[in-house]
Amino acid sequence: MYILALDQGTTSSRAIIFDSLGNIIGVAQKEFPQIFPKPGWVEHNPWDIWNSQREVMFEAIEKAKIKPKEISAIGVTNQRETTIVWDKDTGQPIHNAIVWQCRRTADYCERLKKDGLSELVKEKTGLVIDAYFSSPKIKWILDNVPEARKKAEQGKLLFGTVDTWLIWNLTGRKVHATDYTNASRTMLFNIKNLDWDDELLEIMNIPRNMLPKPLPSSYFYGVCNIFEDAEIPITGIAGDQQAALFGQCGFEEGILKNTYGTGCFILLNTGKDIKYSSKGLITTVAYGIGDDVHYALEGSVFIAGAVIQWLRDNLGIIKNSSESEILAKMVEDNGGVYFVPAFVGLGAPYWDMFARGLIIGITRGVKREHIVRAALESIAYQTNDVIELMESETGIKIKELRVDGGASANNFLMQFQSDISNLKVVRPYITETTSLGAAFLAGLKVGIWKDLNEIKRIWREEKIFTPGMPEEKRRYYLAKWKEAVTKARGWEKE
46-73, pLDDT tens digit by residue? 999 999 999 999 999 999 999 999 999 9
pLDDT at 307: 94
What does DSSP assign to residue 346?
A: B
Residues of the chain with pLDDT > 70, as a percent, come to 100
d(CA 473, CA 477): 6
pLDDT at 494: 60
Q: Exposure of 131 by Cβ count < 10 A (0-12 exposed, 13-18 middle, 19+ buried)?
A: buried
User: Average pLDDT in the 437-455 region?
Assistant: 95
User: Average pLDDT in the 272-299 region?
Assistant: 90
**Which of 153-167, 289-303, 445-459: highest mean pLDDT?**
153-167
Asked if residue 369 lies in contact with residue 391, where contact means CB atoms within 8 angstroms, the answer is no
Contacts of 109 (CB under 8 A, 6+ apart): 129, 130, 131, 136, 353
| Whole-prediction pTM | 0.86
Q: 443 a known binding residue?
A: no
User: Average pLDDT in the 218-244 region?
Assistant: 95
Q: 266 or 394, which is more confident?
A: 266
Asked if residue 306 lies in contact with residue 201, where contact means CB atoms within 8 angstroms, the answer is no
Q: Whole-angstrom distance between the N-terminal and C-terminal Cα of the chain?
A: 58
Q: 241 a known binding residue?
A: yes
Asked if residue 49 lies in contact with residue 97, where contact means CB atoms within 8 angstroms, the answer is yes
pLDDT over 80 at 493, yes or no: no
Strand 84-87 with 189-190, pairing: unpaired
User: Average pLDDT in the 449-455 region?
Assistant: 94
Q: Where are the domains of the chain?
A: 2-239
Q: 132 a known binding residue?
A: yes
pLDDT over 80 at 460, yes or no: yes
Q: 410 a known binding residue?
A: yes
Q: 305 a known binding residue?
A: yes
Q: 273 a known binding residue?
A: no
Q: 309 a known binding residue?
A: yes
d(CA 478, CA 489): 17
- Reported as half-sphere exposure (CB side, CA atoms, 13 A), residue 49 has a value of 31
The least confident of 273-277, 312-316, 478-482 is 273-277
Question: 310-368, pLDDT tens digit by residue?
Answer: 999 999 999 998 899 999 999 999 999 999 999 989 988 888 889 999 999 999 999 99
d(CA 409, CA 397): 26
Contacts of 283 (CB under 8 A, 6+ apart): 122, 126, 127, 191, 270, 274, 275, 276, 277, 295, 296, 297, 298
Which of 3.30.420.40, 3.40.50.300, 3.30.465.10, 3.10.129.10 would CATH assign to domain 2-239? 3.30.420.40
| Alpha carbon 248 to chain centroid, angstroms | 15
Mean pLDDT of the chain: 94
Question: 396-417, pLDDT tens digit by residue?
Answer: 788 889 998 889 999 999 999 9
Q: Exposure of 55 by Cβ count < 10 A (0-12 exposed, 13-18 middle, 19+ buried)?
A: middle
Question: 13-24, pLDDT tens digit by residue?
Answer: 999 999 999 999
Question: 165-189, pLDDT tens digit by residue?
Answer: 999 999 999 999 999 999 999 999 9
pLDDT-based confidence at residue 419 (cuts at 50, 70, 90): very high
pLDDT over 90 at 74, yes or no: yes
Q: 262 a known binding residue?
A: yes
Strand partners, 196: 189
Q: 10 a known binding residue?
A: yes
CB contact burial 66-96 (16+ within 10 A = b; e otherwise): bebeebbbbbbbbbbbbbbbbebeeeebbbb
d(CA 402, CA 384): 13
Q: 433 a known binding residue?
A: no
Residues of the chain with pLDDT > 90, as a percent, come to 83
Strand partners, 218: 236, 289
Instruction: Count CB-CB contacts under 10 A for residue 208.
Output: 11
Q: 125 a known binding residue?
A: no
Contacts of 458 (CB under 8 A, 6+ apart): 21, 22, 449
Q: 269 a known binding residue?
A: no
Contacts of 146 (CB under 8 A, 6+ apart): none
The amino acid occupying position 377 is E
Question: 184-196, pLDDT tens digit by residue?
Answer: 999 999 999 999 9
